[in-house]
Structure 1
Amino acid sequence: LADGEGFLLTGRLSLDTHPWLADHAVWGSVILPGTAFVELAVRAGDQVGCDVLEELTLQAPLVLPEHGGAQMQIHVSAPDADGTGRRTFTLSSRVQNGAGDESWVRHADGVLARGAARPDFELAQWPPAGAEPAETDDLYEVLDGLGMGYGPVFQGLTAAWRLGESVYADIALPEGHASAARDFGLHPALLDACLHALALGGLGGTVGVGRLPFSWTGVTLHAAGAEALRVHVARKGTDGIRLEIADTSGAPVATVDALALRTVSAEQVRVAEAAHLDSLFGIEWSSVTVARGDGAPSRRWAVLGRDELGLASSTGAVVAEYAGLAALREALSAGEPAFDVVFAHLPGTGDDGVAGTVHSAVQGALGTVQEWLADERLADTPLVWLTSGAVTTVPGGAVADLAGGAVRGLLRSAQSEHPVRFVLVDLDGDPASVRALPA
């Protein structure tokens, strides 16, 4: 590395190269499981002589695209100067798709260390004496209802028992996938299935709430390549979970000293997905033929401010002018019937400069929108906001009206909450555009 000691590990993940990852869906989106981040970090530790994943904290989920893949990087720092051999690391990705490479997103960071302790458990007696069988037949239906859509590869919990506040479970990869375990330290689908025991309750968590791993502490891999597991899941402290994982003979495979989980919502997943998918979308305008009726429109129109665009003269409509929204509301209070459409447009730019004009335009529009939504008499009247040159309809074209563009952004947000109450119209200066407004 040009900027000092350390290591950079790189790779690529996709649903083409790792199709089994498609079986890990959260709220309908394929999310790289937290256990895969653990596997990557442990592998990085092997590379630099660290046998303990001392800490791993997840910062952002990785939503895998349906097409293309994710370029991965793990940056491992130089060892600490105190001689302990501890190293920090970060794990990042960027999506690669037909639209080009996206920005890098940091998904996790943590600490690798040396000096793994010998395991202090074994699970040879199975199930443990006194453990009571737990019902697991509908486990994955329950998890699906919580937004955790696990496919066959991740449906590895086959039996479980309760003993006090602990849960013991059998975990196995499905037939046809077991041989893949030898390619991993601990197959992420196996480790993920160990966490499904949490849905059986009794571990200090909330039954009926979907949760995903957030931070891992003290992860040690004692043996690699296991195809089936026995796991003991117990509460650690107030909110933590401890996992003791063994193979089918009871010999230790892995230890997770503490695991913290957080609830996950559909909105959080959508935000993470949008971070990668926004670049796939762009605004593209298409010409359409507008059917124009004969004669002047019969609807009643009003304008906030002066009719500087010549709505009345260009369309033949009867247009009432009001100094502002307050004047319009006063007229309604005095008995004026509601209008079919009310038009608003930006005042002149003034002498505030570009930044000042944008600020004042957005603040003025915000006040108008808030007042408009607060008056129930206007609920059935669309507010049509007119701009000119605030958008460009050709690739590479320049936006002439920056203040209008900013106001359109504000109003698009209002449209998302009140889709039928606001209409955005950008005019190009051609009188024919004004004449087309009735249609």
Structure 2
Amino acid sequence: LAAAGHDHGPAFLGLTRLWRRDDEVFAEVTGPTALDAPRHALHPALLTAALQPLLAEAGPAAVPAEWRGAVLHTPGTAALRLHATRTGEDAFALAVTGPDGVPVATVESVRLRRLDGLRPADARPDRFLTLTWPETPLPADPAVSWTVAAPGIPGLAEPGAPDRPDDAEFVLLPVTSASTLLPELLAWLAGDSPARLVIVTRHAVTVAAGDVQDLAPAPVWGLVRAAQSEHPGRITLVDLDGHESSLIALPAALALDEPQVALRQGVAHVPRLVTATPADFPSEPGRSAGTVLVSGSGDLAGAAAEHLVTVLGRDRLLLVGADAELAERLRGLGADVLVAADGAADRESLAEALALLPAEHPLTGVVHVADSDVESVLTSYTPEQFTTGLRRAGDAAWNLHELTLGLDLDLFALLTPHVSGVLGGTGQGARAATGAYLDALAHHRATLGLPGVAVAWGPREEDAGSGRPGLVPAGKGQSAPLFGL
């Protein structure tokens, strides 16, 4: 499955036993230890794991595309037995029971669609996308009702408040950081309120230059984008700018059929991905006698370092938090490599590593690869796990920013191997928050007149199983332009 692109992450590795008999498939599935099954009619981790045998039957690049006659009999089950019977080409009837044989769900037909025709893409210009915030018209006379879950939106008028808070269509929750949001978000998702939760931030996203004034709210957008993927239709994101006209426009923004909205001076903007133009990329740094710091480990950090040496001719590198194998590989390419074992999250060790650079080869570039090792649906990990992972990734990027402020850099690239910070994704909350933070830091540096670019990867052909449903991998050797180098 992983080789075919179906690597869903550790939270979805629930398949424990599997049998096949002619056109029938039998499987047993259990949820992760932290699974809170009663919160869901059918937990997404269990459902994803239960469908994995069908994906294997249908061949590579198959996804569930059509459901008919799905009936839930017993909600809140923590383990499943699946009996799937092939009813046609790439179509199956499902009978799902609990370990005790009690019926959980039946599906008359689930049809899989093969994506075999999608091949790793070439590095054509329309492969590169950037996030924009075009204006969108607001309804003139919105009829919405809301209530505010907590204080923190000064100046918000109350004409939209219902007679009873329980009757509100929207519940507004002002938020300043992702770590404080998560407990409240989990509590909301555990409830059964028909209202939509509206997460309200201030200057968390960059609609125009200079928008991001504080990096703390930025990860909120990544976290909630992942939550929107896991719980569609339950959460809206609204970013304000502090102008009175934006507060006045807030009710109209709630009436939009948009999951994410930014209000600037009373004008609504919505996020859209568009094809990047050359102006969206920084100018290519030239060959330099200086040193480039490469922070992070894994395949992406290795690819970035090799690109610096073999394509850009930046052959003096300081590897921070990388392994010895990468250093030797780079030396084999002719690079002059220094290695600092501790990662960039350790500020003191990072400062010591920078001090080791000789005056004739000063630091002139930074490439930082950040990721989170927390991969699970939101309801399956604790706020402490989330906060620890986000702090580690955020501290490393911020330390690199602060400790290089006085240096003459021509390159500062922040890379993440996932697009979840923009697109969300099931089980991607921590990674999405990290990606959103890196993007905000790049915009912050741009406001200061400093070099900075944040690049989020889609799947790459050379990283089998690292993809995201709906995204076609980039072909081998086609990822280099995505470095922004």
TM over 0.5: no
The normalised TM-score by structure 2 is 0.31
Q: Which fold has the larger relative contact order, with Cα–Cα distance below 8 Å and residues 6 or more apart in sequence?
A: 2
Structure showing greater radius of gyration is 1
